[in-house]
């Protein structure tokens, strides 16, 4: 009897191990990149976001425009050589934009070279009517964004028309953008022009671009919320990432003098002077509310 019980338990354990192995394996796409595992998708994505519509008193001034810098890159090469299928996280991009739109602001969509915006479509909340609506409304701009070089050439003299620069998150924000001199130029322009800068999760990796060519880090001493490197180091265990990140973001910013206020990938948001940041996808709704409220209070 004991032997039968032991064999039965061993069989159950074997089945559990096989199931865990299968559900935690990143899923390979046609181009050879990997999207998150079945388990990771179940844990980290939703069909409906936590967006809560708010009736704002709409902004009526001249500074209506917000430049949104998206990534145009899909695949991130991890330390083990595997490619992570990434881009901009749809909830991190679209929830803040929903709030800012409702507050009366308008968007100019840009990518570094003008190639189409790339989203992590595996994270898209397919049943969310509000997210689907703004995505459909801006889809043509996502497909044909402005190149940052064109923005720099045509819009730097129009400071009076802009309220903010927004850099959404998603791991794709770490591909090329931290090394892009144009991104650094735009962020320095916003900072020196007293415009707001809004970002969340991995989006603050763009702030590293302000230090290119030995420039001083413009956000030294600022409080900010950023996705923790410690969490990124853990996610390969459940197959969210197919390997370890080629670089981190929170520790680099901290070493430059940023005051990172969160240690978890939670809903932390913070505004410090003209910088408004959030910690993770869980902060998307609160970041949108904080950004809309702050801009309305400061610009009206």
208 is catalytic: no
- Determine contact, residues 168/88, Cβ cutoff 8 Å: yes
Instruction: For the chain, state the CA radius of gyration.
Output: 21
Among 252, 280, 251, 253, residue whose Cα is nearest residue 267: 280
What is d(CA 288, CA 116) in angstroms, rounded to the nearest whole number?
A: 24
What is d(CA 211, CA 196) in angstroms, rounded to the nearest whole number?
A: 19
What is d(CA 201, CA 116) in angstroms, rounded to the nearest whole number?
A: 21
Catalytic residue among 201, 209, 238, 287: 201
Q: Residue 56: CA atoms inside 13 Å, Cβ hemisphere, count?
A: 24
What is d(CA 42, CA 25) in angstroms, rounded to the nearest whole number?
A: 13
Catalytic residues: 201
């Amino acid at each position: 009897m004991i032997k039968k019980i032991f064999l039965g338990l061993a069989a159950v354990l074997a089945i559990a191990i096989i199931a865990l192995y299968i559900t935690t394996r990143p899923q390979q796409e046609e181009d050879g990149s990997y999207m998150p595992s079945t388990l990771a998708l179940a844990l980290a994505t939703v069909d409906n976001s936590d967006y809560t519509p708010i009736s704002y008193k709409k902004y009526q001034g001249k500074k209506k425009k917000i430049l949104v810098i998206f990534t145009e890159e899909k695949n991130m090469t991890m330390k083990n050589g595997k490619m992570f299928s990434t881009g901009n996280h749809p909830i991190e991009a679209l929830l803040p934009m929903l709030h800012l739109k409702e507050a009366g602001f308008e968007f100019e969509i840009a990518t570094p070279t003008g190639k189409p915006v790339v989203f992590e479509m595996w994270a898209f909340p397919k049943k969310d009517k509000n997210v689907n609506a703004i995505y459909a409304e801006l889809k043509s701009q996502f497909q044909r964004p402005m190149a940052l070089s064109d923005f720099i050439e045509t819009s730097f003299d129009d400071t009076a028309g802009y309220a903010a620069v927004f850099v959404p998150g998603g791991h794709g924000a770490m591909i090329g953008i931290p090394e892009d001199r144009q991104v650094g130029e735009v962020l320095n322009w916003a900072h020196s022009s007293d415009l707001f800068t809004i970002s969340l999760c991995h989006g603050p990796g763009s702030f590293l671009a302000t230090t290119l060519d030995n420039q001083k880090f413009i956000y030294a001493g600022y409080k900010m919320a950023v996705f923790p490197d410690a969490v990124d180091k853990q996610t390969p265990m459940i197959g969210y990432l197919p390997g370890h990140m080629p670089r981190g973001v929170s520790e680099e910013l901290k070493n430059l003098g940023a005051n990172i206020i969160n240690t978890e990938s939670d809903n932390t948001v913070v505004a410090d002077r003209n910088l408004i940041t959030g910690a993770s996808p869980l902060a998307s709704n609160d970041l949108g509310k904080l950004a809309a409220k702050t801009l309305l209070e400061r610009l009206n």
